[in-house]
DNA sequence: GTTCATCACTTAAGCGCATTAGTAACCTAC
DNA sequence: GTAGGTTACTAATGCGCTTAAGTGATGAAC
């Protein structure tokens, strides 16, 4: 263990392979319009391997004027555990295109999105919740960055989920529906969207607008909410997500109410615990992996000149009917 | 809407403030040893504001030879929902030190950690699970990067959690203990650590080693596991985490067993749903926010010359005794 | 009244890479 | 046998920033 062993640069590789650094760059980037004989390519690649060289991102993006890092902003409390699968797929698809994904927790007291974006010099910012116009403008300018907000994607999507929840309940004959809001204010934007979907569906069915109540991860509080809904003649409630739904189920048990007889409950997100709930929870699932893949495609497309495409990706929310409804 | 409005550079700011770009840099970085009169500073800052200038991270780190990006690697399935709070606090504390946090989902099929690290040119990589030696070496070399692995921190910590679970149970008089492994293999490393803690505690108490069983988010499977433990005279089980514990609770209900009479259950992580479980779940909580803060301190310390400090941060796991034990 | 510090800056070099504009060597066509 | 094309490279520039090394002006010290 001697000195910190200076990181190797393209020059080191060039020297080791007895070529110029330009040639190394050509090989590494498969620069079009350059003819490199197999033998040279091999030598360069071998030197790269030997030195465990990997180009410094900062130098690359500075020189090339574009970077291959994609920044994903996710709401600071996860929308649900399912988000992991989404990110994973998104990252994998991006990696296929040579892009690197890093994520940032939005809303938290840390750095603001544009700062993070500038710091990592991201070329694209993707977000799961709508980015406000101000931020979007800043990002767009401040980064020569293409903002690929899911305003286009997830936004109507969230609403769609609410719609599906309500439709399911209405199809089952319910005429007065409740809505269980999440506890955390930072989830509000998403919650509002989902709620709007429920309201839409109610309006379409010509029934009363949903009766929204706040929730808490507290059995007593949820028991009270359940009784309140009963008093208001609500027969079914859409929960913001599965966690809220499960905690509502707990409240009902405390209040000696049973699902779906006294109150039918639908969750959203299909978390693993939903199937072991008592009763097993009906919920809305969607193909997050497919969504990750199509978001990645959209990013790649927007990078290669095409405007960010607007067509909704394969987000296919669907009802999973279990015993709680 | 005309051209994409070229991003403003330090030169633009310099021009607008009628100073040289060096001066702008001095002001923006509070470069020590430079005396800048208030008036000049004001002019520069005003220009920065006007142009909404923010330095390009890549240029900064290339020039300075160091970046202020910190990369946090988290296991690809979240350890628990609580991780959000940790990351949040970590990011906030880092931001106070002018550092930017981005995270990367490890284990997923996307880019490998060293690649991501190189791409964003991170100066420090922090991880929640131990980083293997190979990767660590690569990171250290390949980035002039200081690896601040939580090998030092979280590792013994995970074990500590298991220890606490078992201690709690043993203190309650249990003499034969079970362990509920997580379903997902990628959680294995963490699970093994937690399990080891349980085993330690059993050994210390002079009782049999824990009886480990695999789990699944499936009531029937969990019912079978519960019966199996009973058959093996186990009277209490430590679950890998709260989700596993809750699903075990569901299995027990199905098998007509009750907690804690037939089988006492402790979870880990204290997720919100733990308190609304039936019965409310005993679990191990810890101060993740404090942990985030102290990890950040460690990062800052390691950045300013000090070797990554080894003192355990304020991770104070403690038992939350509810009705399931 | 000269010297030396200090102040308030500016000049310029260079970080590691991508990229454009060459160039020398070889081949082909006529 | 030479103009023109192709192949396989290299030299040199510059991306936006930090920073070491100046520089001229002012003030203090003697």
Q: Which bases of strand D have any atom within 7 Å of the beta carbon of a protein residue?
A: 7-12, 14-21
Considering CB atoms only, which of B5, B56, B108 is closest to A91? B108
Question: Are A299 and A126 spatial neighbours (Cβ–Cβ below 8 Å)?
Answer: yes
Q: Which residue has the tokens 């490199």?
A: A36
Provide mean pLDDT across the span A231-260: 96
Question: Are A14 and A26 spatial neighbours (Cβ–Cβ below 8 Å)?
Answer: no
Least CA distance to B251: which residue of chain A?
Answer: A276
Give the predicted TM-score (pTM) of the model. Answer: 0.85
Question: How far apart (Å, rounded) are the C-alpha atoms in residues B43 and B225?
Answer: 71
Question: Are B302 and B309 spatial neighbours (Cβ–Cβ below 8 Å)?
Answer: yes
The answer to whether strand D lies under 7 Å from the CB of residue B61 is no
User: CA of A101, closest CA in chain B: separation in Å?
Assistant: 7
Q: pLDDT at position B6, please?
A: 74
Q: Find the helix packing angle between A21-29 and A38-51, rounded to 10°.
A: 90
Compute the Cα dihedral for B211, B174, B264, B171 and give only its sign: negative
Q: pLDDT at position A253, please?
A: 95
pLDDT bracket for residue A186 (50, 70, 90): confident
Q: Which residue has the tokens 């987000």?
A: A315
Question: Are B135 and B147 spatial neighbours (Cβ–Cβ below 8 Å)?
Answer: no
Residue A316 has pLDDT above 70, yes or no: yes
**Rg for chain B (alpha carbons), in Å?**
25
- Mutation target for A interface from B74, B120, B302: give the one with most A CBs within 10 A: B120
The answer to whether strand C lies under 7 Å from the CB of residue B19 is yes
Question: Are B192 and B199 spatial neighbours (Cβ–Cβ below 8 Å)?
Answer: no
Question: How far apart (Å, rounded) are the C-alpha atoms in residues B283 and B323?
Answer: 10
- Mutation target for A interface from B102, B115, B259, B293: give the one with most A CBs within 10 A: B102
| CB burial of residue A64 (10 Å; 0-12, 13-18, 19+) | exposed
Q: pLDDT at position A138, please?
A: 82
- Helices then strands, counting H and E runs in chain A, come out as 12, 10
Residue A315 has pLDDT above 80, yes or no: no
Q: Is B109 in Cβ contact with A92 (below 8 Å)?
A: yes
A1-7 long-range contacts (CB < 8 A, ≥24 apart) are: A4/B144, A5/B141, A6/B144, A7/A56, A7/B141, A7/B142, A7/B143, A7/B144
The answer to whether strand C lies under 7 Å from the CB of residue A220 is no
Question: How far apart (Å, rounded) are the C-alpha atoms in residues A252 and A245?
Answer: 10
User: CA of B176, closest CA in chain A: separation in Å?
Assistant: 26
Q: How do the pLDDT tens digits run along chain B, 325 residues long?
A: 334 557 899 999 999 999 999 999 999 999 988 889 999 999 999 999 999 999 999 999 999 988 999 999 887 666 556 777 888 889 999 999 999 999 998 877 778 888 999 999 999 888 877 777 788 888 887 665 666 555 444 556 778 899 999 999 999 999 999 999 998 887 788 889 899 999 999 999 999 999 999 999 999 999 999 999 999 999 999 999 999 999 999 999 999 999 999 999 999 989 889 999 999 999 999 887 888 888 888 888 888 765 555 445 556 789 999 999 9
Q: Is B116 in Cβ contact with A109 (below 8 Å)?
A: no
Q: Is B100 in Cβ contact with A115 (below 8 Å)?
A: yes
Considering CB atoms only, which of A69, A109, A217 is closest to B272? A217
Q: pLDDT at position B141, please?
A: 74
Considering CB atoms only, which of B62, B76, B218 is closest to A84? B76
Provide mean pLDDT across the span A229-243: 96
């Amino acid at each position: 263990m001697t000195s910190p062993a200076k990181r190797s640069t393209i020059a080191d590789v060039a020297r080791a392979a007895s070529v110029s650094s330009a040639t190394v760059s050509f090989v590494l980037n498969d620069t079009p319009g350059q003819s490199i004989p197999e033998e040279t390519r091999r030598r360069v690649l071998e030197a790269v391997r030997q030195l465990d060289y990997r180009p410094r991102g900062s130098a690359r993006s500075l020189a090339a004027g574009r970077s291959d890092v994609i920044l994903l902003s996710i709401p600071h409390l996860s929308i649900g555990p399912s988000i992991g699968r989404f990110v994973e797929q998104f990252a994998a698809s991006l990696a296929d295109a040579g892009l690197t994904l890093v994520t940032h927790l939005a809303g938290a007291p840390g750095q603001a999105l544009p700062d993070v974006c500038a710091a990592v010099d991201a070329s694209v910012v993707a977000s799961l919740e709508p980015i406000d116009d101000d931020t979007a403008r800043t990002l767009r300018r401040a980064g020569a960055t293409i903002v690929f907000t899911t305003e286009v994607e997830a936004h109507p999507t969230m609403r769609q989920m609410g719609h599906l929840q309500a439709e399911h309940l209405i199809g089952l004959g319910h005429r007065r529906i409740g809505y269980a809001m999440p506890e955390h204010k930072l989830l509000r934007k998403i919650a509002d969207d989902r709620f709007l979907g429920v309201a839409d569906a109610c309006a379409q069915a010509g029934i009363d607008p949903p009766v929204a109540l706040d929730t808490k991860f507290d059995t007593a509080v949820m028991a009270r909410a359940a009784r309140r809904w009963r008093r208001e003649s609500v027969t079914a409630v859409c929960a913001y997500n599965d966690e809220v739904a499960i905690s509502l189920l707990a409240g009902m048990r405390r209040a000696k109410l049973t699902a779906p007889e006294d109150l039918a409950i639908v969750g959203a997100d299909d978390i693993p615990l939903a199937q072991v709930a008592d009763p097993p929870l009906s919920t809305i699932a969607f193909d997050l992996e497919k969504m990750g893949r199509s978001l990645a495609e959209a990013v790649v497309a927007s990078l290669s000149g095409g405007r960010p495409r607007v067509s909704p990706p394969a987000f296919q929310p669907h009802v999973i009917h279990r015993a709680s409804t």
